[in-house]
Chain A
Amino acid sequence: NAGVTQTPKFQVLKTGQSMTLQCAQDMNHEYMSWYRQDPGMGLRLIHYSVGAGITDQGEVPNGYNVSRSTTEDFPLRLLSAAPSQTSVYFCASSSSLAGPRDEQYFGPGTRLTVT
């Protein structure tokens, strides 16, 4: 059981480039989400999904796209990278069967730098 995996671990982009951060989980969790963590701050929700084919915006969605074609995968696309998107990105998943105490399982994070 690998849990939540994220690739790549590190990435450097130039302004204007696009890329996709990968997130996969093998726990058959319905819920998945993407957060960003800026230096010295807490996590902020970018996008989330309650199941395959269903996504919605979080607190800071601008500049990012998501799709959820399978239960396992939830990629995050940066359309045109900007220095303000320099951050650590965390993917998380949780199960609807957990009830209110829905512990979120976090991936190890992707550290992105945009120059």
Chain B
Amino acid sequence: AQKITQTQPGMFVQEKEAVTLDCTYDTSDPSYGLFWYKQPSSGEMIFLIYQGSYDQQNATEGRYSLNFQKARKSANLVISASQLGDSAMYFCAMREGLAAGNKLTFGGGTRVLVKP
């Protein structure tokens, strides 16, 4: 079974509007972390935001916020006030267990294209 599912292969968004990227996850571990990464066409992986399973509040980092619904096992990324530079692939990822480590499971990604 897929541990991380991103059901939107691609989407368009108008510049200056907000966009929500869906991510659902599957784990039986009560301790986990959820990450979002951006991959522009140049190929590098850029960390955007992190949400821990025990965090009481939804994470925010500038124009990025995470809509964390633990009971539904979803961790949707919201990008506010989209900019042309937001056009990229976006990946949701999960690390199971609280101990810091480098084992991430990635979803298949969502391609976002921002229209002027």
Provide the residues of chain A in CB contact with B43, threshold 8 Å: 88, 108-109
Considering the complex, give the chain B residue whose CB is closest to the CB of A56: B103
Contact indicator B103/A102 (Cβ below 8 Å): no
Q: Is A11 an interface residue (CB 8 A)?
A: no
Q: Is B101 an interface residue (CB 8 A)?
A: yes
The total of Cβ contacts below 8 Å across the A-B interface reads 77
Q: Is A95 an interface residue (CB 8 A)?
A: yes
User: Taking A43-B91, A106-B45, A109-B44 as contacts, is the C-beta distance between A101 and B50 under 8 angstroms?
Assistant: yes
CB distance from B6 to the nearest CB of A (A): 8
Contact indicator B52/A101 (Cβ below 8 Å): yes
Residue of A42, A88, A97, A101 near B108 (CB, 8 A) is: A42
Count contacts on B: residues with CB < 8 A to the other chain: 24
Interface members, chain A 1-55 (any B CB < 8 Å): 31-33, 35, 40-45, 48, 50
What bracket does the count of chain A residues touching chain B fall in? Answer: 20 to 34
Provide the residues of chain B in CB contact with A101, threshold 8 Å: 33, 50, 52
Sampled A-B contacts (29; CB under 8 Å):
A31-B100, A32-B102, A33-B103, A33-B104, A35-B104, A35-B106, A42-B4, A42-B91, A43-B106, A48-B103, A58-B103, A59-B105, A88-B43, A92-B45, A92-B102, A93-B102, A94-B102, A96-B100, A99-B100, A100-B50, A101-B33, A102-B33, A102-B102, A103-B50, A104-B45, A104-B102, A104-B104, A106-B44, A108-B43
